[in-house]
Amino acid sequence: MPRLPEGVRLLFGGRHRPTTGWLVGSRGIEVRVVPLGPLDKGDAQCWLEHLQFTDAQASVLARRLHGHPMAIRMAAATLPARPEFHLPEASLQRVMDELSDLYLADIPDALQRRLLEGACVVRRITEPLLQAMFPETSPADAYARLRRLDVVEALPDGLGLHEMVREALGRSLLARDPQRHGSYRRRAWQALAAQTTGSGRSELWRYTADLLYLVENPVVREAFFPSDRSELVVEPAQPSDADSLREILERHEGPEGRRILWRWWQAMPESFCVVRDAVGQCQGLCCRFDPRQAPAGCLAEDPVSLAWSEALKASPVPEGQRVLFIRRWLGRDDGERPGEVQAACWLALKRDYMEMRPALRRVYLVLADLSPYAAVAETLGFQPLPQCGVSLDGREYTTAVLDFGPRSVDGWLAWLAAMELGVTGESPWLDRQAHELIRQDRRIALTPLEFGVLAYLVDREGEAVTRERLLSDVWGSRYTGFSNKVDAVVVGLRRKLGEDASCIETVAGVGYRYRRGDHPGDG
């Protein structure tokens, strides 16, 4: 950070406290941490009086609105026109539900109300999303209508609906009309999956966050957005952490396990990160690395990484794609078991996933006891690898692997959302309007017949389709004799599909079948 002129202060805002380097490091910078919370009753009452509520009304509302600034703003927008309405003394969530419903009812423009309801299912509002969710409406007009609402904020990358209002409206819509709520989410997924597939690296962060927001599965959301505000932070390990690392290894690993992990620390210290508490003490460790960057001797000496390397030889990833070995995580008190330290490590590993995309293809991890994580691992797409089982110090270690598929982390996230939304047959890499294949950062045009054959097979996933049916339904031909027209088109399609060409299978004596890959991220 550049040195600031005398008297200048820099303000950062975020959901997590600063890392310990800001607080105890030798940066020569004075850092003050100011936790943000609700207004106290006196300040809330003063603001309500400024908003033209009477002293008596302000006194009651200051308590019932929990001092939340957005709740106060919503009350000021909805309650003056309803002098007989009594806001319940309830939780903040219940209060926001009531106020948001009143706000929605006060919007005279029916289209504007529908647009606001649709906006509550997405993280940010853009014209392409509005076009997908409301195809009968001009996206520019829809965007302008939403922007006029005082609960919507103009952001550098779209429009943002305040989080509390968005969640309240989402709950209300889901309760009133679950079918419409699901339809908005599915249409948003279709647009975002296509945008994620075709976007450049600089845009991936935004589209990935948008896709993640669509996922409501609690296992997935907790993995990326922990509900608790942990005081633990994960940072790169420093040489001064050596004693703490050794102590944790001695607590939880046998002699051979300690020796191997200490060898990794000596040979590749950058592969270690530590979990620190609020005062900077090391409470856990995580060792992870790209095997291509690891010393060959360490890979060979470690039975776990050796087994993984052999598995990679038997099932290599395509050239240009990367692998992450998550060799071990351990908490000072809980070892590898679920706990605060493990949760902090998992969140940090998700950040590693994001940093390594779109090249990251596969992740390997090892545990002595996989059972506490089995449900979570299965939901996220991890599969056990029995052939990589290893015995160390009399303990059996189990390997699990997650293959993201050819579209890396973004394809995996699209798959997670698709499973939840029931849109598993969709193919975000096929732009049906433009008749193009979307291949990472480029688009490949399809001829009318190539598009017709591919769309026909995709829509009948898993079904063996005869050449005669393709000739009849795609070509419009009633010819029933032998023809190589279909074969010639399939050859061209496979060439354009590249490494995904195997998704079009030849069915001997019949014709062709489309079958998506075995990996979550496959199209």
**Tokens, residue 432:** 């049906």
Phi first, then psi, for residue 414 (nearest 5°) are: -60, -40
Q: Using CA atoms in the order 293, 298, 303, 305, what is the torsion angle rounded to 10 degrees?
A: -10
Would you say 364 and 401 are in contact if contact means Cβ atoms under 8 Å apart?
yes
Residue 201 has a pLDDT of 60
Question: 378 vs 407, which has greater pLDDT?
Answer: 378
458 versus 97: which is more confidently predicted? 97
Q: What is the rounded average pLDDT of the residues 240-263?
A: 97
Phi and psi torsions of 230, nearest 5°: -65, 145
Buried b (16+ CB within 10 A) or exposed e, 161-180: bbebbbbbbbbbbbeeeeee
Percent of the chain with pLDDT over 70: 88
DSSP 125: B
Note the pLDDT tens digit of each residue in 259-274.
999 999 999 999 999 9
DSSP class of residue 193? Answer: H
pLDDT score of 61 more than 90: yes
Least confident of 13-17, 151-155, 177-181: 13-17
In eight-state DSSP terms, residue 134 is -
Q: Is the pLDDT of residue 482 over 90?
A: no
Average pLDDT over every residue of 1-17: 76
CB neighbours of residue 332 within 10 Å: 19
DSSP characters over 365-388: EEES--GGGHHHHHHHT-EE-GGG
CB of 452 closer than 8 Å to CB of 477 = no
At residue 273, the pLDDT reads: 96
Q: How many C-beta neighbours within 10 Å does residue 506 have? A: 13
Number of residues that make up the chain: 523
Specify which residues 326 forms β-bridges with. Answer: 288, 365
Residues 358, 179: Cα–Cα separation, whole Å: 34
Summarize the confidence of residues 84-91 as an average pLDDT.
92
182-227 pLDDT, tens digit each: 989 988 987 887 776 555 666 667 777 888 888 877 777 777 766 6
| Confidence label for 520 from pLDDT (cuts 50, 70 and 90) | very low
CA distance linking residue 200 with residue 210, whole number of Å: 15
Which of 2-6, 160-164, 444-448, 479-483 shows the lowest mean pLDDT across its residues?
A: 479-483
Of 117, 104, 244, 93, give the one whose Cα is nearest residue 185.
117
Per-residue confidence (pLDDT) for residue 297, from 0 to 100? 94
pTM: 0.71
Alpha helices in 371-511 (DSSP H): 374-380, 408-421, 448-458, 467-470, 485-497
Q: How far apart are CA 223 and CA 381, in angstroms?
A: 13
**For the residues 453-466, what does the mean pLDDT come to?**
85
Banded pLDDT at 428 (limits 50, 70, 90): low
Percent of the chain with pLDDT over 90: 55
- pLDDT in the model for residue 293: 95
Beta strand 395-403 with 390-392: parallel, antiparallel or unpaired?
Answer: antiparallel
Range of lowest pLDDT (17-21, 73-77, 271-275, 388-392) = 17-21
